[in-house]
Amino acid sequence: MKKVIKILIVCLIVSLVVLLVVGVVVTMSTHSRVNALRQEIKASGDPLYLVDFEAEADEEENNAYFHLMNAREDINAFDEFLSNDLSGLSGINLSDTSNIAKSDLDALEKCVQEQEDLFAQIERMADCQKYQADIDFSKGISVLLPHVPLFGSVKNFLQAKTIVDVSQQKGDEAIRNCIEGLRISRLQMEEPLLVSFLVALQMEGAMLDSAFYVLSSTPTSVEVRADLKREVEASKRGRCAAQALKGERACGIQTFKDLREGDDEAFQGMGAPNLILDFAFKKTYLNDDESKFIEVMNIAIKLLDKPYAERVRFRDEVVTEVQNSDFRFAVTKLIQPAWFAVGEVVDIHNAKARCLQVILQLQAEGDVALGKLPEDPFSGKPLLALPSEQGWTVYSVGKNQQDDQGDIGSQGQPIRLTPDVGYGPFPVASSDEDAS
């Protein structure tokens, strides 16, 4: 019996030693792999950690963030008005101008008139050369962004003012509201955080939609339409999307670093109390997860420049591999879905911007050469345009890459629910008049 026990003890010791050796070898292997990936990022000149994005604060007067913070009191007052004096944010859709009641329009007009100081701050924001928020990048994934919701309120105010201006046939002033919003969104896109980029895109999309609403509703001058065209063309959403994903990658790498240094709360108390578990789980697992995280992020960044169909194919392959990995890549799985959606959203905004440029051309020339329209980012072919009794509809085939005959949905409908992407109908015959 004693001999059997001794044999069992020896076997146990040998097993533990083998396990420890295997753990060390695997840990060293995964460490080498993740370290090589980090070195590639450094060699490319990109920031490795989120904290590497920190920069010296710009002059206050030239920093749109400074004016945004100065406008907080007025922004809060406008938000309170939307919640209490109108039907409430859930009851009124500023993107759907067809369903705004006369009483709400009168209330909007009164509120906009009372918010001259807010609009002045918004104009100062749009005139700035930079947007640099006061962010503690060292917090990594826990970074606080209290300024981001304020952009939604600025968007709402510009939409409200545009609606009021159109109701008063002030077409040029309404277009200038859209231009201000486009400039502000372009500044915010520069912030190297994915959430900031997506909020900036939301404002940009609202301003593009508002611009079409103005153009199709009231006369505007040649000069202001030229200003709008220049601003639409000035967007750098593609480059900023890559920057946002690089910021997201840096945030993830910083998070893995924090986890290795003992932030067990991130794993809900699943600590590694002894050497064997530390090798077998914490170090090895995190190295393996981070390697996959960096690889997937690198793919997402490179795919931004690829055609939509190719991007979708790669996305499906990568997502399937990660999701079918059982217990591996837990952290990567948590934050993966948004990465590949970025390219799709950028394509939608590229399509909308190009469609609006065609609308501006239609207004200026009364006709377009169908075979020479800008490229559809979803199909790689020219955009499509259909005439009707109501006017022209200019559109992209959208995510399904099929021509649904200009089915762009109704005003205010979420773009993700529409088969095609674009604008229309646009009444060319009545658009030749310029604003006086």
- Closest by CA to 77, choosing from 125, 24, 116, is 116
Per-residue pLDDT at 294: 93
Lookup result for tokens 């939307």: 82
Residues 6+ apart with CB under 8 A from 378: 308, 347, 351, 396, 397, 398, 399, 401, 421
- Provide the 3-class DSSP secondary structure of residue 136: coil
pLDDT tens-digit profile of 192-224?
Answer: 888 899 999 999 999 999 999 999 999 999 999
Mean pLDDT in runs of 10 for the chain (436 residues)? 68 62 57 86 91 78 90 89 61 61 81 89 93 80 76 92 94 97 95 90 95 94 96 94 93 85 50 43 80 90 89 82 80 72 92 96 86 92 92 92 86 70 81 46
- For the chain, what's the residue count? 436
Q: Tell me, what's the pLDDT at 279?
A: 47
- pLDDT at residue number 203: 95
Q: What is the pLDDT of residues 347-384, one digit of tens each?
A: 999 999 999 999 999 998 888 887 789 999 999 999 99
The rounded distance, in Å, linking the Cα atoms of 30 and 406 is 51
SS3 content of the chain, % helix, strand, coil (to 5): 65, 5, 30
Question: Could you check whether the bond before residue 425 is cis, i.e. omega within 30 degrees of 0?
Answer: yes
Q: Which DSSP string corresponds to 48-64?
A: SSGGGG--PPPPGGGBH
Q: Report the run of H or E that residue 81 belongs to, with start and end.
A: helix 72-84
| pLDDT the model gives residue 432 | 41
Q: Which residues, other chains included, contact 86 with Cβ-Cβ below 8 Å and sequence gap of 6+? A: 92, 104, 107, 108
| Position 345, amino acid | V
pLDDT at residue 202, as a whole number: 93
In this structure, what token pair is assigned to residue 140?
A: 């990594």
Residue 386 pairs with which residues in a beta bridge? 393
Alpha-carbon distance of 43 to 245, in angstroms, equals: 18
Helix H or strand E segment including 342? helix 337-365
Q: Which of 70, 170, 152, 72 is nearest to 113 (CA)?
A: 170
Q: Report the amino acid identity of residue 333.
A: K
| Bridging pattern class, strands 384-388 and 421-426 | unpaired
Spans of all domains in the chain: 51-236, 344-430
DSSP 209-238: HHHHHHHTTS---HHHHHHHHHHHHT--HH
Angle formed at CA 223 by CA 221 and CA 229, multiple of 5 degrees: 105
Residue 19 has a pLDDT of 54
Pair 362, 397: CB distance under 8 Å: no
Residue 272's pLDDT is what? 38
Its pTM stands at 0.86
What do you get for the CA distance between the two ends of the chain, in Å?
107
